[in-house]
């Protein structure tokens, strides 16, 4: 049986036409699934009963089980989800006064092994399918009882290493017939894969781009992020220039501030040199508690770093992390079995 959540609207239309139905039936099904979040053909009441029965015999829905749902003191929610093959992923709901953001996973684990990130320490298992990515959104929308406003591929995994499935999931969720989430409400967060950034620039897909930088020193970044040894800062900078020339979009940079590692005046100077000429915004993220243990700078040191960057002419803000108490903040997601 085909997984219906793996089909975009054009593919679903072709399937519906192939067994003698009118193509508008695909629109009806798409609305039920993505606008109303109904994953049972028998409940799609504007479809003829014989069609509902036929659909049930031809298609299936990806299923994932909510193993655990934790709620932070700040309202952040973290979901541990069990996939059909018994692998586990974690996803996060960030609640703000006027909007809700989902941090969605694109892989089971991560192969990049950044030293401050718990996800990489758990290792890489496999890519998620487009239907598994989409299913996370439907499940969490149903769980919180409202639609999401923004989706960030900043959960488990490197999105550009599972590019085809990430893009297909975006296409499905963006389609105006169904979920109709605006394209600028999607963000791809990457550790810096030049080929992926270039393909995004060339795609015409106007999603937002966020780059995990964490240091503008070659040696320091390589120690924090092994991917820098393969794609050093010079190659990253060149492709970011290409991306910006092609799209004109501002790039967000994530900078996990770590005491004694990347918070010195020299680090600040190198960061400014790297950012010069790029339309950018820097999220300064006081490092979250993961293993191996890195220390956060003091509140004063964080403020000095932030203000110094602003005085140098760069837009930035200190991100007040949500969900740290339930290990739902940046770098804290991992595959934990709690059954």
Whether residue 163 is found in the same domain as residue 184:
yes
- Provide, rounded to the nearest whole percent, the portion of the chain with pLDDT above 90: 83
pLDDT in tens, 28-68: 999 999 999 999 999 999 999 999 999 999 999 998 999 99
Q: Which residues are annotated as a binding site?
A: 110, 114, 117, 157-158, 189, 212-214, 288
Using CA atoms, how far residue 318 sits from 257, 277, 284, 303, in Å, is: 10, 22, 5, 8
Q: Checking phi first, is residue 180 left (phi over 0); if not, alpha (psi -120 to 50) or beta?
A: left
Q: Grade residue 239 by pLDDT with cuts at 50, 70 and 90.
A: very high
Q: Which residues are annotated as a binding site for S-adenosyl-L-methionine?
A: 157-158, 189, 212-214, 288
Nearest Cα neighbor of 41 from 31, 54, 52 is 52
For residue 33, the 8-state DSSP code is I
Using CA atoms, how far apart are residues 167 and 160, in angstroms rounded to an integer? 10
Please state the domain count of the chain. 2
Whether residue 16 is found in the same domain as residue 73:
no
Checking if the pLDDT of 323 tops 50, the result is: no
Give a yes or no: residue 133 inside a domain.
yes
Q: Residue 125's domain spans which residues?
A: 65-326
Q: How many other β-carbons are positioned within 10 Å of the β-carbon of residue 233?
A: 18
Of 90, 141, 163, 254, which residue is the catalytic one? Answer: 90
Using CA atoms, how far apart are residues 194 and 200, in angstroms rounded to an integer? 10
- Residue ending a domain, among 45, 60, 75, is 60
Whether residue 134 is found in the same domain as residue 274:
yes
Give a yes or no: residue 336 inside a domain.
no
Residue 329: CB partners within 8 Å, gap ≥ 6? 288, 321, 322, 323
- Kindly report the CATH number assigned to the domain that includes residue 276: 3.20.20.70
- Kindly report the CATH number assigned to the domain that includes residue 43: 1.10.150.530
- pLDDT score recorded for residue 14: 97
Q: Which residues are annotated as a binding site for [4Fe-4S] cluster?
A: 110, 114, 117
Tokens of residue 29, six digits: 């099904």
pLDDT in tens, 6-16: 999 999 999 99
Predicted TM-score (pTM) of this structure: 0.92
Checking if the pLDDT of 336 tops 70, the result is: no
330 is catalytic: yes
């Amino acid at each position: 049986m085909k997984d219906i959540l793996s089909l975009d609207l054009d593919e679903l239309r072709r399937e519906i036409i192939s067994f003698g139905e009118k193509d508008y039936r695909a629109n009806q099904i798409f609305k039920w699934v993505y606008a109303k979040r109904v994953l049972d053909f028998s409940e799609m009441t504007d479809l003829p009963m014989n069609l509902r029965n036929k659909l049930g015999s031809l298609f299936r829905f990806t299923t994932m089980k909510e193993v655990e749902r934790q709620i932070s003191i700040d309202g952040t929610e973290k979901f541990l989800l069990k996939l059909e093959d018994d692998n586990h992923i974690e996803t996060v709901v960030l609640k703000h006064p006027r909007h809700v953001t989902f941090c969605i996973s694109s892989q089971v684990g991560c192969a990049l092994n950044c030293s401050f990130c718990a996800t990489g320490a758990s290792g890489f298992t496999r890519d998620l399918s487009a239907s598994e990515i989409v299913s996370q959104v439907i499940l969490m929308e149903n769980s919180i009882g409202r639609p999401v406003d923004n989706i960030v591929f900043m959960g488990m995994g490197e999105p550009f290493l599972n590019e085809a499935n990430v893009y297909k999931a975006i296409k499905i969720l963006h389609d105006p017939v169904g979920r109709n989430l605006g394209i600028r409400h999607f963000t791809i967060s990457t550790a810096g894969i030049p080929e992926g950034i270039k393909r995004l620039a060339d795609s015409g897909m106007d999603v937002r781009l966020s780059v995990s930088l964490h240091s503008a020193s070659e040696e320091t970044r390589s120690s924090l992020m092994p991917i820098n040894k393969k794609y050093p800062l010079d190659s990253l900078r060149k492709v970011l220039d290409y991306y910006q020339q092609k799209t004109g979009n501002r790039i967000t940079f994530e900078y996990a501030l770590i005491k004694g590692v990347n918070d010195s005046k020299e680090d600040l100077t190198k960061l400014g040199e790297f950012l010069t000429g790029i339309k950018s915004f820097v999220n300064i993220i006081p490092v979250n508690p993961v293993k191996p243990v890195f220390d956060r700078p003091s509140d004063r040191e964080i403020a000095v770093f932030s203000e110094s960057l602003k005085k140098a002419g760069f837009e930035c803000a200190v991100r007040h992390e949500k969900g740290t108490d339930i290990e739902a903040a940046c770098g804290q997601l991992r595959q934990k079995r709690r059954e």
